């Protein structure tokens, strides 16, 4: 039987600062991490992380992060033995990087996931936030490989949504169709330009992980929302877990 996995990841996306704070568990193994792009430099670490649905705190060397979350309308999807909930956020707080203090007031996304995912799992994912030409706020969650409607729950156990692909337009969630990924440069009709990339490859024989997660800018359009300019992340992850 596959190991039980769970993770919680929160990101905040804006032109001046982008960040993520997360923790994950695979079986008895636990890991936490954080990353901040401050407009010119990527800082990241793994220590001193405290994360809940309401707030995030980091104390790691000369880095301090203190964030609070205002929740929007979440979506939940169950696919077989795996579950996820995605919640749009308004993120407020302060990031201290050495002698520099950055006020954070940005849209974001909370990813909560758990279950007995397949032993070998691979996915492409994008999360971000932007604004339409009319000034309407947009947050998105797009994926290929997890909760994407390809493998549905058994009859009688399906979720209200077939996939977790969601565009929140003015705070209202809308499930959207498949958005093909072109590596880490494009998803659907959104083009992506990376500004800083988190990446790591680990192999412990029985467990392995290979991922890239760049922060960057998006231009193009999304279903439901139409044209927009935004900020966020792309992700490629192959896992043996």
What is the pLDDT of the chain when averaged over all its residues?
A: 95
∠ CA 179-185-191, rounded to 5°:
70
Helices (H), the chain: none
pLDDT tens sequence across 194-228: 999 999 998 988 899 999 999 999 999 999 999 99
Query: pLDDT value at position 204?
Result: 87
Please state the pTM of the whole predicted model.
0.94
Pick from 65, 63, 110, 57: which is nearest to 85 by CA? 110
What end-to-end distance do the CA atoms of the chain give, in Å? 11
Instruction: Give me the mean pLDDT over the 61-79 stretch.
Output: 98
Q: Write down the number of H helices and E strands in the chain.
A: 0, 19
pLDDT confidence bin for 151, thresholds 50/70/90:
low
Pairing of strands 100-115, 208-222: unpaired
Structural contact between residues 240 and 21, judged by C-beta atoms closer than 8 angstroms = no
CA torsion 27→184→226→15, rounded to 10°?
A: 90
Are β-strands 63-71 and 82-97 bridged in parallel, bridged antiparallel, or unpaired? antiparallel
């Amino acid at each position: 039987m596959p190991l039980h996995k769970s993770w919680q990841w929160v990101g905040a996306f804006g032109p001046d600062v982008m960040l993520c704070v997360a923790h994950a568990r695979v079986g008895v193994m636990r890991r936490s991490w954080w990353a901040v792009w401050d407009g010119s430099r990527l800082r990241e670490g793994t220590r001193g992380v405290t994360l809940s649905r309401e707030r995030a705190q980091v104390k790691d060397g000369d880095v301090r992060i203190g964030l609070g979350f205002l929740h929007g309308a979440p979506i939940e999807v169950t696919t077989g033995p795996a579950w996820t909930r995605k919640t749009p956020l308004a993120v407020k707080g302060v990031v201290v990087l050495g002698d520099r203090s950055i006020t954070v007031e940005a849209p974001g996304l909370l990813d909560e996931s758990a279950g007995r995912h397949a032993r070998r799992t691979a996915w492409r994912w994008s999360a971000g936030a932007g604004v339409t030409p009319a000034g309407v706020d947009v947050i998105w969650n797009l994926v290929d490989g997890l909760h994407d409607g390809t493998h549905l729950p058994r009859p009688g156990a399906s979720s209200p949504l077939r996939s977790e692909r969601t565009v929140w337009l003015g705070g209202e969630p809308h499930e959207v169709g498949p958005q093909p990924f072109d590596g880490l440069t494009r998803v659907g009709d959104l083009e992506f330009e990376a500004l800083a990339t988190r990446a790591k490859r680990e192999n412990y024989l029985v467990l392995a992980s290979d991922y890239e997660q760049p922060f960057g800018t998006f231009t193009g359009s999304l279903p439901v929302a139409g044209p927009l300019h935004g900020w966020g992340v792309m992700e490629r992850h192959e896992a043996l877990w």
